Amino acid sequence: MFRLLRQVISHISARTCSTAAAPPQPRLGLRSPFPDREVEVYNLQKQPAGKLVLPGQIFGVPIRSDIVQRVVVWQLAKRRQGTHKTKTRAEVSGSTRKIYQQKGTGNARHGTIRAPQFRHGGTAHGPRPRDHSLDLPAKVRQLGLKIALSAKLAEGNLMVVDDSAVRLSAQAQDAKQQSERQQQQQQQQVVPVKTATMARTLEALGLKSALLLVGAS
C-alpha cells in the first residue's frame, strides 16, 4: 500500500516538474474580427477628393436589430417628462356628504358625488408623475451606436466630407463680413463656421436631412 502511494506521488511530482520546465508558448497577435472599410472622401462639389480608411470595429459591426431596439427604447424613455397627472376623488372639487339615504329609494347605493362613476368625479387608477428612464449598460449603448454607423455605411448613406474644404468655403463666404480681428484669426487657422454657411454646404451636397459627426481626427 505504501509502495503504491509512493509511486503515485513520484509520478505526480514528475509531471509537475515537466510541466514547469516546459517553455511558454508564444501568444498570437490579436486581430480585429471586423475588417476596415475604405470609403471615398468628397469635397463641397461632391467630387472625390481622396480615400479614407474607417476602423472596422466601429463601421463594420454586424447588424443586430435587437441591440438597436434596446437603445431606441432607452432613448425614448429618457425623453419622457413623466409629468402626466390626473385628479383622484380626494382632489376634485365637490361635497363629501352622502347624496341620498342608503335604503328606501330604490336606487344604487352611493356615497360622495366625487366618486369616479359620476360626472366631474375623480379618476380611478390614473397616471401619476414618475420617472420613465431605463437602465442600459454603457457597452450596449456604444454597441448600438456602432451598429447604426455600420448600417448607414452598408446602405450607402454615410458621406465623408473633406474638413479643409468646409473651412475654405466658410472663409470665402464670410470674408466680406469679417473684421480685421477675424482676419487675424483666419491667419491662425481659427475660422468660425456659421449655421447659414453649413446650410448652404449641405444644400450643395444634395442633403436634405443629415447628422454631422465631427471628430478630432
How does pLDDT run across 120-143, given as a tens digit for each residue? 999 999 999 999 999 999 999 999
**184-194: pLDDT as tens digits:** 665 555 455 67
191 burial (CB, 10 Å; 0-12 / 13-18 / 19+) is: middle
Q: Given a cut of 90, is residue 34 above it in pLDDT? A: no
Q: What is the pLDDT of residue 132?
A: 95
Using DSSP, state whether 143 is helix, strand or coil.
helix
As beta bridge partners, residue 53 has 38
